Amino acid sequence: MPVTAIVLAAGEGTRMKSHHPKVMHKVLDKPLAWWVVDAARKAGVDRIVLVVGNGADEVRSYFADEKDVEFVEQTERLGTGHAVRVVRDALGGFAGPVVVLNGDLPLVRPETISSLVDATRTGHNACTLLTMTPPDVSGYGRVLIEDGGVRAIIEDKDCTPEQRATLLECNAGAYCFCGERLSTNIDKVNNDNAQGEYYLTDMVGIYAGMGEPVSAVHCDDYEELLGVNDRVQLAQVTKIMQHRINEGLMRSGVSMLDPDQVWVGPEATVGKDTVLLPQTFLWGKTSVGEACTVGPNSRLENATVGNNCTVDETVIVDSAIDDDVNCGPRAYLRGHTHLLRGAKAGTHVELKNSVVGEGSKVPHLSYIGDTQMGAGVNIGGGSITCNYDGVHKSHTTIGDGAFIGSDTMMVAPVNIGAGAITGASSCITHDVPDDALAIERSQQKNIEGYAIARRERLGIKPRK
């Protein structure tokens, strides 16, 4: 039977003190709910249902391109049991195992979710819940286990002193239900409590009273099941995930001078013998090849980096560099820029929506936008393509082997031929033929003695 996962993401998360829903706050570069959805997907779940409520539009928008994610809106937030009932009504009932996960469990592993499903199927359980034993159990619901079965979940505030001291197994907020029995019995959950809400945890006691089998799967790594209720806890789980990812990279052959100062998102990949220096961020679908040095102070987002590259104090967004490329320090590549093999983008260089040919160099203090550049081109310092007239973006073409003198303004649209040279401090407004020299300057005029007369007029002491 197919497995359904329900991810509870409708809560307000008031302790986050935010205009955004709690599940949209990020661990590394992904929202809390993304991690849970991704873990469910990797666990082999067939159907993923995201329960939205507070900030529903923001959550829907983020997951809009996730074709295997469905949305059910809980317009009235009346508790976790109510959320599951809303999903049942929307889907017309459940069939097969139903995994229910809180949307703020970003550290849960796919293997743990799979173990819940396996235990439910093997034991023909009505419910299997995930448990843990954290160092500090205060605040957690305690799991009462008798005769090998789970009898109840007792909230911390309802525990007797003896229970508080002896019941150390805690509810982690993750369950797997038999779908058919859940469809039939979810309506038995009532809201007879101080909050007036329907709690999914009540299903444990209901099933126990019916004689239905309820069991627990213990997770040895309690950190895997840490939830997020405020920004302090968000930082704590982010640090754990940072260490988890960085350790995996280092074991695969990546070096880090200080792993605490490297942040790598879950979709990024890094090749062996690459060094990630402090204050490096690899976000999105970034791919870094082998034998590269990235950092310090570099951010790559949806970037592709070849082999043997240096990325020093550089930001690369939605762009690619091929093998043997050198960037930085303090370079900025964006807007689908592409540097071909052996190219260079140097100090204080910005490249936007441009192709830089093999071995071409933009060494320093330049802006190149909307440009197709050939091989072996040298761009002198302080040169820019004037590609925007306030309304339209225009294109510049620079041929193979061209030499652009320092402080050249290339006013697009303009074509500079192969092997052409532009004189320093020229404003190029017309096409330049192959192998030509283009120079545009007003005539220099020297006025002898002007500086002496000026100092006398202003009462400035004569120059010694």
Model confidence band, residue 165 (pLDDT cutoffs 50, 70, 90): confident
Cα dihedral across residues 169, 245, 11, 8: positive or negative: negative
Model confidence band, residue 462 (pLDDT cutoffs 50, 70, 90): confident
In angstroms, rounded to a whole number, what is the distance separating the alpha carbons of residues 16 and 330?
35
Q: Which residues contact 446 (CB under 8 A, 6 or more apart)?
A: none
Instruction: Give residue 158's pLDDT.
Output: 82
**pLDDT reading at 220 higher than 90:** yes
- In contact, 197 and 79? CB cutoff 8 Å: yes
341: nearest Cα among 311, 307, 367, 372: 307
Tell whether 424 is in a known binding site. Answer: yes
Q: What is the dihedral of CA 427, 432, 435, 439, to 10 degrees?
A: -30
Q: Name residue, tokens 């679908």.
A: 285
Tell whether 104 is in a known binding site. Answer: yes
Average pLDDT over residues 38-57: 97
Beta bridge partners of 47: 4
Tell whether 346 is in a known binding site. Answer: no
Three-state SS at 369: strand
User: Which residues form the catalytic set?
Assistant: 364
CATH 3.40.50.880 fits 4-225, yes or no: no
Query: pLDDT by residue (tens digit) across 277-293?
Result: 999 999 999 999 999 99
Query: pLDDT by residue (tens digit) across 246-265?
Result: 999 999 999 999 999 999 99
Task: Tell me which DSSP letter residue 52 carries.
Answer: E
The segment(s) of the chain belonging to CATH 3.90.550.10 are 4-225
274: nearest Cα among 244, 246, 316, 314: 246
CATH number of the 314-438 domain: 2.160.10.10
In angstroms, rounded to a whole number, what is the distance separating the alpha carbons of residues 323 and 277?
19
**pLDDT reading at 464 higher than 80:** no
- In contact, 111 and 43? CB cutoff 8 Å: yes
The segment(s) of the chain belonging to CATH 2.160.10.10 are 314-438
Q: Name residue, tokens 């060094």.
A: 275
Tell whether 376 is in a known binding site. Answer: no
Tell whether 79 is in a known binding site. Answer: yes
Predicted model pTM: 0.92
